[in-house]
Amino acid sequence: MIERDASLRGMNSFGVPARAAGLARLHDLDALPALLDDPGWRDRPLLVLGGGSNVLFTGDFDGLVLRIEAERIAHSRWDGDDAMVRVEAGRDWHDFVRWTLDAGHPGLENLSLIPGTVGAAPIQNIGAYGVEVESCIEAVEAWDRRARAFVALDRAACGFAYRDSVFKREPGRWIVTAVRFRFPPAWTPVLRYPGVREELAAQGVAAPTPQAVSEAICAIRRRKLPDPARLGNAGSFFKNPIVPAAQAQALADTHPGLPAWPAGDGRRKLSAAWLIEQAGLKGLREGDAGVSPQHALVLVNHGGATGAQVLDLARRVQAAVVARFQVTLEPEPLIL
């Protein structure tokens, strides 16, 4: 059943007002082809919406919003000592991370508490605290709208890159329906990201388990990032910019303390949060749109902001960073 003129305010973590011409909730993946062939909607724009935590609506959507709410999870098979797990796209991401830890399959603990759904994770190639989701992905199942068929893309075919994938580079073609993960038995904690070891030490953890790492990550995120349930936001609004090493060195010479990390191919990744804060924008507020005082990388809705007002603020942030550092920040969320 398709709901007409549906409110999307409660379906986006910014909490901005928006409406969709139609809204469909899909619990049975086998019903997807018939839904897409509905004569009343097949020629209208389509938006697949997960948890709404990586999207900014700047107005209404004159098409069909599809929410995949299928969320079954199971071991699909065991390959030697590796655990293979298939999970449907509608599963809450953090809930799935907790499931993997309870089942004894570590590897995703650094991605704890990231909002959204499993289906959205490979599209953005979500990453945090030194880990990207591609490291545990075996394959992604999707409906290919061009071929009109269910397909499975192995990791190489997914074309993963920093906050990127083939699913993101070909918008409108793919609808992710499930993700297959591989978890090897050997596990080494990833603790190189600043603050993780310190948090573990503060919790009195000398020999971290996967669960302890997850708890440390959750504590850091809760301390640094505002809760979308209380203050509308989409987490990190900008990607950390990647620039040529020579440009990064020139910036470091001029601005001591600039955080930078190797990004391969003679490039360096800079901290977008540091750039924004050094531009004097942390805590900035324009009406109900603002830059979080907790974390400069997070744009927030203090209650009554529209998506257009949040976007105006984002553009002001971009302009200020360009003016001071000659670095262009790229938004992470999908802006509609």
Q: Catalytic: 170?
A: no
* pLDDT recorded at residue 325: 97
Q: Catalytic: 286?
A: no
* pLDDT recorded at residue 133: 97
What is the distance between the alpha carbons of residues 22 and 248, in angstroms, rounded to a whole number?
47
Cβ atoms within 10 A of the Cβ of 63, count?
A: 15
- Bridge partners of residue 47, in order along the sequence: 65
What is the distance between the alpha carbons of residues 104 and 83, in angstroms, rounded to a whole number?
9
**pTM of the full structure:** 0.88
The residues near 309 (Cβ < 8 Å, ≥ 6 apart) are 286, 287, 288, 289
3-state secondary structure (DSSP) of residue 147? coil
Burial of 9 (0-12, 13-18, 19+ CB in 10 A): middle
Are the C-beta atoms of 281 and 322 separated by less than 8 Å? no
* pLDDT recorded at residue 146: 95
The residue from 236, 268, 271, 292 that is catalytic is: 236
- Give me the half-sphere count of Cα atoms (radius 13 Å) on the Cβ side of residue 68: 31
| Both tokens assigned to 172 | 């409108």
Are the C-beta atoms of 111 and 147 separated by less than 8 Å? no
The residue from 67, 91, 163, 221 that is catalytic is: 163
Q: Please count the residues of the chain.
A: 336
* pLDDT recorded at residue 75: 84
* pLDDT recorded at residue 229: 86
* pLDDT recorded at residue 225: 86
What is the distance between the alpha carbons of residues 71 and 200, in angstroms, rounded to a whole number?
32
Q: Catalytic: 135?
A: no
Give me the average pLDDT of each 10-residue run along the chain (336 residues).
Answer: 94 96 96 94 94 94 96 81 94 97 96 95 94 97 97 97 93 96 93 90 93 96 89 94 95 92 91 96 96 95 97 98 97 94
- Identify the residue whose tokens are 């505002």: 226
Identify each DSSP E strand in the chain by its residue range. 2-7, 19-26, 46-48, 55-56, 61-68, 73-79, 82-88, 127-128, 131-132, 137-144, 149-154, 174-183, 232-236, 242-244, 260-262, 267-270, 285-286, 289-291, 298-301, 334-335
